[in-house]
Every structure is written in structure tokens, then in C-alpha cells.
Amino acid sequence: MHSLLNGLECRACCTQVPADRLVGVCPNCGHALLATYDLDAARSQLSPKRWRERPGGVWRYRELLPVGADGSIVTLGESESPAMRLGEPSSAPGIELWVKDDGRLPTGAFKAREMAVAISRAKELGASSVFLPSTGNAGIAAAAYGARAGLPVRVYLTDAAPRETAAAMRALGASVRTVRGTMTEAREAALEQEPGRGSVELSTMREPYRLEGTKTMGFELFDRFGAAGLPDAVVYPTGGGLGLVGMFKAFSELRALGWLERMPRLIAVQSEGCAPIVKALREGRARADPWPHPAEFAGGLTVPAPFSSERVLEAIRWSGGSGVAVPREAIRAAERAVARRLGIVTGEEGAATFAALSPLVRAGTVRPGERVLLYLTGAGFPAGLPRLAEQLTTSEPSPRG
């Protein structure tokens, strides 16, 4: 098994860049670079059956990931995240409802997929340290994989993140600077501090390899359901949108290999307090404008100016998907209901997909008879449980006895 990576390309200006050195964005136009693979070789060497004979998880898809040498792989034992069928929801009669729960991955979120691949590749290409702005989960994953790789990590953390988040990053050996504001301000702070340090930026879409980690979300869905049984729609909580671009890239590569004809419609869910992608979809625009006054809420959903939003919008549109924004009260209510009725402590991001179900049914975006999968991108632990407990004491009637 070896990587079939054969280069990097910019979709905006078609520039090709060699993949054998550390690189950030397109040197020509500043847009995101995407990894390309020798798919002819993949077609002759691989098959879905051969994949399924291997242990599940990120590295099952080794040939279509960018890490060259086996010895470069930095792993915390990423397993395949579970997909579970739920009962028919009262808010969506006739829908066959599934969840896929990335809260079970190392560090409790899909960010483990990204950082397993990005940190492995950064180390392989000789990075001496890495940095990123984060609302929480990406920083924790970078800290953990950085610790495993022996690579110093600096996180510029938005101040809305719960206190436990910074503590977890520091416990994992990362240095953390808390920045007032959103991801926009956190990145500005990073760009003031980092020049001259020889460090590698791991911001969403500003290096090519985190995206390759999110691709495994799509590969796992394909493995789990098969080409004929894939969900009709995948409902995905969207901040930076990397997961959508990753799943779209996975399904596109599977299609190029001749293994897949129809891909799921990708449906973005955002919070009404910060919904630049949904707004751009509604207005038919090719790129999202920065959201002017984002509400400080669900961390991973609050990305007012997603970088390379063109790729996110393209993934949604080309899959036949769409987007919906839901109010924060509905997200909070869904978080409580999902914990109490389903036993799943998901973050506000995951809860947003449940909150979106009813508006999606009303709009006819998902229809009775369809198989719909809600993607839970992370667990509500450790910050979620204390918050839920606090809400219980303030907003729930006590049981009568």
C-alpha cells in the first residue's frame, strides 16, 4: 500500500503545484490547493472489496490519502465512526433517519480525521511547528496529534470557547492564546505572531491536507451503505464547510473510479446568527460574503468568512443539495431532546442537524421514503454536559413526585 498522490491543483486558476514540499495556498491566485491522485493506477490496484478487507478507519483509504511513507503516519487509533438508524422522527414522518457519529473519534470530533492526515503530512514534509485559529475542536485535535508527532502546536482560540477547551489543549502540550472575537480575529492574531517562526499554517483550506482527512467521511459512508444504498441526503452542520468539500471530493473520486453513479445531496445547516453559506446559496452567488455581525454561539458554526467558500458552494450545488439556517433556540432545544430521548450528547453543531429536519421536510428538501443521514461532527463532551446540566436547572420543570 502506498499513496497515489501525484500533485496539487488550484481549481480557481488551474495552476498545478508539485506535492513534494510544504505549501499553503495557490502561489498564483491565493485560492485553495487540492490534492490529486493517479486514479488510473487506483482503478487497477484497488477495489471496494479490497478496501473492506482492511481494518476500518482513516488509513483504510491509504492510496487516496497524501501520506507517503508508512513511518510518517501519526495515529491515535482512528476507527470507523458508527452509523446508526434512528426511529422515524415525529418531525419528519416517512423519513428513514440515520446518524453518523464522529463524536466517537479520538479527541471527540471529525477534526481527528483532518489532523491525523494533516499533521502526518506536515511532519513528513519537514514542518518544525504548526499553528491554527480554532473555535475548539480543531485546536484540540491538532494539539493531540501534534503531541503524538512531537510537533509543537500553537492555537489561537476564540474567546467564546468553554474554559475546558483551552485547558484540554494545554494538557496536550499546545500553547494557547485566547483571542476576543471570531475565527476572523483569531487568524489575524495568528498572522501578527507567526511570521519569522518558520511555522506551517493549518487553517481550513489554507493547506491541502486537512481536506484529505475529511474525505474519509465520504469513503466511510460508501463502505457502510454501498453504492446503491447511500443516503439520498446528508445533512451537515456547516462552519468552514471542509466536511462538505471533503465528502464531495470523496464521492467525485469514487465516481471517477467507476464505483459510484449517484452521490447524496449535501445539505448545509447553519445557525441563523451566522449563515454566510446559506445566504450565498439563496442568492445564487458563487462565493459567500463575510457575515457582518455573527452571534457568539455554537463554536464550529460561527465562521463568518469561510475561506474558499467557492469550493463549499460548488460541493453543495453540484451534489444537488441546498442549505438551511436554524434559530439558536431550536438548536439548544434539539441538543436537550437528543440527549434525553436518544442518549446522544452531541455538540451544538450536531444538534443543529436535528433542528433542521422539520424545516427541511416543510420545504420539501427531504421527502418521505428517502434515506436521510444527519452528520454529527462531534461529541458534546467535555463542555456540553455541564452546559446541559446548567440548562436543566434553569429551563426544565422539575419532575413531579
Q: Interface residues with Zn ion (CB under 5 A)?
A: 10, 12-13, 15, 26, 28-29, 31
C-beta of 36 vs 193, nearer to Zn ion: 36
Minimal distance in Å, beta carbon 26 to Zn ion?
3
Minimal distance in Å, beta carbon 9 to Zn ion?
9
Minimal distance in Å, beta carbon 142 to Zn ion?
26
Q: How many helices (H) and strands (E) does the chain have?
A: 13, 13
C-beta of 28 vs 128, nearer to Zn ion: 28
In this structure, the strands spanning 200-201 and 175-179 are unpaired
CA-CA distance, 302 to 15, in Å (whole number)? Answer: 31
Minimal distance in Å, beta carbon 253 to Zn ion?
21
Write the CA distances from 262 to 231, 239, 265, 312, 349, integer angstroms: 10, 26, 9, 19, 27
Q: Which 3 state secondary structure label does DSSP give 121?
A: helix
CA proximity to 352, closest of 295, 289, 392, 300 = 300
Minimal distance in Å, beta carbon 301 to Zn ion?
28
C-beta of 34 vs 338, nearer to Zn ion: 34
Minimal distance in Å, beta carbon 25 to Zn ion?
8
C-beta of 23 vs 39, nearer to Zn ion: 23
Residue with cell 490547493: 33
From its phi and psi, is residue 310 left (phi > 0), alpha (psi between -120 and 50) or beta?
alpha
Cis peptide leading into residue 195 (ω within 30°)? no
CA proximity to 27, closest of 15, 42, 45 = 15
List the grid coordinates of 150. Answer: 512531537
- For the chain, how big is the Rg over CA atoms in Å? 20
Minimal distance in Å, beta carbon 255 to Zn ion?
24
Minimal distance in Å, beta carbon 11 to Zn ion?
8
Minimal distance in Å, beta carbon 252 to Zn ion?
19
CA diameter of the chain:
69
C-beta of 36 vs 75, nearer to Zn ion: 36
DSSP class per residue in 53-70: TSPSSGGGGGGGSS--SG
List the grid coordinates of 42. Answer: 487506483
The distance in angstroms from the start CA to the end CA of the chain is 62
CB 251, CB 222: distance < 8 Å: yes
Q: Which 3 state secondary structure label does DSSP give 370?
A: coil
C-beta of 211 vs 373, nearer to Zn ion: 211
C-beta of 29 vs 385, nearer to Zn ion: 29
CA-CA distance, 140 to 163, in Å (whole number)? Answer: 13
C-beta of 15 vs 178, nearer to Zn ion: 15
Minimal distance in Å, beta carbon 241 to Zn ion?
19
C-beta of 29 vs 286, nearer to Zn ion: 29
CA-CA distance, 284 to 317, in Å (whole number)? Answer: 10
C-beta of 209 vs 222, nearer to Zn ion: 209
CA-CA distance, 207 to 196, in Å (whole number)? Answer: 18
